[in-house]
Structure 1
Amino acid sequence: MPSPSVPLQKLGFLTIGLFDGADPGPGHESTLAVIELGERLGFDSAWVRHRHLQYGISSPVAVLAAATQRTRRIGLGTAVIPLGWENPLRLAEDLATVDVLSGGRLNPGISVGPPMHWADVKDALYPDTADVEDFGYERVARLLRFVRGGRAATFSGREGVVEEWSDRVQPQSPGLAGRMWYGGGSRSSARWAGDHGMNFLTSNVVRAEDSTDFAAIQRSHIETFRAAHPDGDAARVSQGLVVIPTDSATAEQRARYAAYVEARTPRIGIPQGPGGLLFAPDLLGTSEQIAEALYAHAGFQQVREVAFALPFSFAHEDYVQILTDIATRLGPALGWQPAAE
């Protein structure tokens, strides 16, 4: 077991927040309970995925607003909000509001591109403007301008007796602009995020641009991002691989976890779909085995922050076991120390 020369600084986790469509309450409650558990275990951050028209969290900002009232310390992030579904001005208002409610703990992660299943949803989402909507980086730039205090209207001042209007998004939340993350899986997105002073989320999916070596591609994205960022090597990057420690798992859990990983393994190393998406292997085993695999990973070698992704379809008690093992065994094996209450 190698000793970390530079300890992992921040340990987070990511959940999709599955629920039963016929009874969605328990699934949302489970997600909030998992976030509360993460805080008790000393995690630095908890992140939620965004899943439109699926049985996962469709409104992460609303879920995190609830989480602000049930936690005190842990960072709360979105990984990621696809901006193709959003109005940047309205989203800026929601993000700033939740950041104020959290006391400055929100970490909004965003991405661009047309909504998934665009042909199936465009008439409902943009019935009059589908053919002229811009789903490129300018949508991110608009959001950043509003979050950073840029003008959103041409009028400000008093109207009538009591109405006071601002030409900026309200509320303004100091510090939120420095906690904006771009979720990217290509060299161009890494460069854009760096050029625009954002933080960078790199996950278990990248584009197979030059090779099928996932770790090498991920490392090149991190290096491209930092080369473009004003902060250089100090620019923040978080890695989001799927890790499943089995230290305290039961025999039945270990068998199910192994079956899950085996079912996903055939896609590894083979670019998927028209975008040539490349998936990282899931890391399954004891915390010592996972730590050894991470130390050998070219992408992990470049980061000091992680937000390990929880598997999609496990039960609540599985997430409790996995998070507990990550916080009490894997994290310390990576040199991490739990945050103090």
Structure 2
Amino acid sequence: MPPSSQPLRKLGFLTIGTFDEHDPRAGHESTLGIIELGERLGFDSAWVRHRHLQYGISSPVAVLAAATQRTSRIELGTAVIPLGWENPLRLAEDLATVDILSGGRLNPGVSIGPPTHYDEVRSALYPGTADAEDFGYDRVKRLLDFVRGEPVTAFRGTEGFEVFSDRVQPHSPGLGRRLWYGGGSLASARWAGEHGMNFLTSSVVKAENARNSPDFAAVQLSHIRTFRAHHPDGEAARVSQGLVVIPTDSASPAQRAKYAEYARKRTPRTAVPQGPARMLFAPDLVGPCDELAERLHAHAAFREVHEVAFALPFTFEHEDYVQILTDLATRLGPALGWRPASQ
């Protein structure tokens, strides 16, 4: 690790949890097995993505509830739950329940915006209120308030033999400090900071104020600094970076060829911002751990963070994930100054 770099404090990974439509249990069991492996390897956190009407995890809270019973130490996160699909009050109850089951290890990440393909799903999701639904930051604020223990109703007391609370139950006192916002814009970074959340920044950002061929790291760095400038904790505010990082040290020749081809197919989209929103994608990092460490230390945004959740590719096999996670924990992590949690 270069002398000018800060040691990486927390090493995590992110998986989408894919499965076969005709055998969904096997895919979910594979995801749980990967999380268990992560704990044995000393990872600090394991994160799952959220996919509706696809062949990936549609209910990350349920999957993480199962993971709480198979692990004892590793932090469990969602990256991210799109709140357009959720009722914030019901979600707050689910999150608090899983956090209690985990012993205070849950790190829920959320985002805003209309559900994907909203015009096609609106009649099923919100049959009577589709035109009235608000998919903005207010939805996050409601969730924050409910999780942090703000009153939900003016009524509390006893009716007959039943006792009612005026706030979400169970209440998990520390959960409100472990809520993350998954953001890719300056506005999201600022909002998350102003509301005391943690900030998840991934391999996709919005190059809203950048030139025609912007530098991904520079754009991401501006988001991180904006977030911390508006957070009560300032420079101590938590930020996690989620690049796609694929080490090849212990990979077989066939795996190395697969990984290289995966990155090659995805590289063209990293050249310029994509679409009207000017979404900018980071190049996937593939190679030996010593080279990956050099590339990460040269990444301006990476140098500003103390924790990461490297994203596993969506389409690989279970044995590929085992190899990647093992190399991350035993080779790349130490090269970045990280030490396994078990140490």
Q: Shorter-chain-normalised TM-score: which range? A: over 0.9
Q: Name the SS for the 1:197 alignment partner.
A: coil
Query: For the residues of structure 2 that align with 1:332 and 1:110, how far apart are their CA atoms?
Result: 30
Query: For the residues of structure 1 that align with 2:237 and 2:2, how far apart are their CA atoms?
Result: 26
Give the corresponding residue for 2:259: 257
Query: For the residues of structure 1 that align with 2:5 and 2:304, how far apart are their CA atoms?
Result: 12
* 1:142-176 Cα distance to aligned partner (Å, 9 max, x none): 0000001001112111111x211001000000200
Output the aligned Cα RMSD. Answer: 0.9
Query: For the residues of structure 2 that align with 1:163 and 1:117, how far apart are their CA atoms?
Result: 42
Give the corresponding residue for 1:174: 173
Q: Unpaired runs of 5+ in structure 2?
A: none
Q: 2:155 is aligned with what amino acid?
A: F
* 1:18-62 Cα distance to aligned partner (Å, 9 max, x none): 000111000000000000000000000000000000000000000
Give the corresponding residue for 1:295: 297
Q: Name the SS for the 2:310 alignment partner.
A: strand
Query: For the residues of structure 2 that align with 1:75 and 1:195, how far apart are their CA atoms?
Result: 25
Query: For the residues of structure 2 that align with 1:70 and 1:178, how far apart are their CA atoms?
Result: 24
TM-score by length of 1: 0.98
* 1:288-311 Cα distance to aligned partner (Å, 9 max, x none): 111100000011011000000000
Q: Name the SS for the 2:32 alignment partner.
A: helix
Query: For the residues of structure 1 that align with 2:262 and 2:28, how far apart are their CA atoms?
Result: 23
Q: Name the SS for the 1:81 alignment partner.
A: strand
Q: Name the SS for the 1:139 alignment partner.
A: helix
Query: For the residues of structure 1 that align with 2:148 and 2:241, how far apart are their CA atoms?
Result: 25
Query: For the residues of structure 1 that align with 2:30 and 2:85, how far apart are their CA atoms?
Result: 26
Matches within 5 A, 1:320-331: 320-331=322-333
Q: 1:27 is aligned with what amino acid?
A: G
How many angstroms does 1:340 deviate by? 1.6
Q: 2:7 is aligned with what amino acid?
A: P
Q: Name the SS for the 1:182 alignment partner.
A: strand
Give the corresponding residue for 1:304: 306
Matches within 5 A, 1:33-112: 33-112=33-112
Given that residues 184 and 200 in structure 1 are in contact (C-alpha distance below 8 angstroms), is that contact kept between their aligned partners in structure 2?
Answer: yes
How many angstroms does 1:3 deviate by? 4.5
Give the corresponding residue for 2:247: 245
How many angstroms does 1:2 deviate by? 3.0
Q: Name the SS for the 2:340 alignment partner.
A: coil
Give the corresponding residue for 1:201: 200
Given that residues 214 and 269 in structure 1 are in contact (C-alpha distance below 8 angstroms), is that contact kept between their aligned partners in structure 2?
Answer: no
Q: Name the SS for the 1:308 alignment partner.
A: strand
Greater alpha carbon shift after TM alignment, 265-274 vs 108-117: 265-274
Q: 1:174 is aligned with what amino acid?
A: P
Q: Unpaired runs of 5+ in structure 1?
A: none
Q: Name the SS for the 1:149 alignment partner.
A: coil
Given that residues 107 and 179 in structure 1 are in contact (C-alpha distance below 8 angstroms), is that contact kept between their aligned partners in structure 2?
Answer: yes
- The one of 297, 313, 334 equivalent to 2:336 is 334
Given that residues 5 and 303 in structure 2 are in contact (C-alpha distance below 8 angstroms), is that contact kept between their aligned partners in structure 1?
Answer: no
- The one of 264, 270, 273 equivalent to 1:271 is 273
Q: Name the SS for the 1:100 alignment partner.
A: helix
Matches within 5 A, 1:110-259: 110-160=110-160, 162-211=161-210, 212-259=214-261
* 1:275-323 Cα distance to aligned partner (Å, 9 max, x none): 2111000000001111100000011011000000000100000000000
Q: 2:13 is aligned with what amino acid?
A: F
Query: For the residues of structure 2 that align with 1:8 and 1:188, how far apart are their CA atoms?
Result: 27
Q: Name the SS for the 1:253 alignment partner.
A: helix
Q: Name the SS for the 2:181 alignment partner.
A: strand
Query: For the residues of structure 2 that align with 1:2 and 1:190, how far apart are their CA atoms?
Result: 29
Query: For the residues of structure 2 that align with 1:324 and 1:293, how far apart are their CA atoms?
Result: 20
How many angstroms does 1:4 deviate by? 6.0
- Number of residue pairs aligned between Structure 1 and Structure 2: 340
Given that residues 183 and 200 in structure 1 are in contact (C-alpha distance below 8 angstroms), is that contact kept between their aligned partners in structure 2?
Answer: yes
Query: For the residues of structure 1 that align with 2:246 and 2:37, how far apart are their CA atoms?
Result: 17
Tell me the percent identity.
Answer: 75
Q: Name the SS for the 1:274 alignment partner.
A: coil
TM-score by length of 2: 0.98
Q: 1:280 is aligned with what amino acid?
A: A
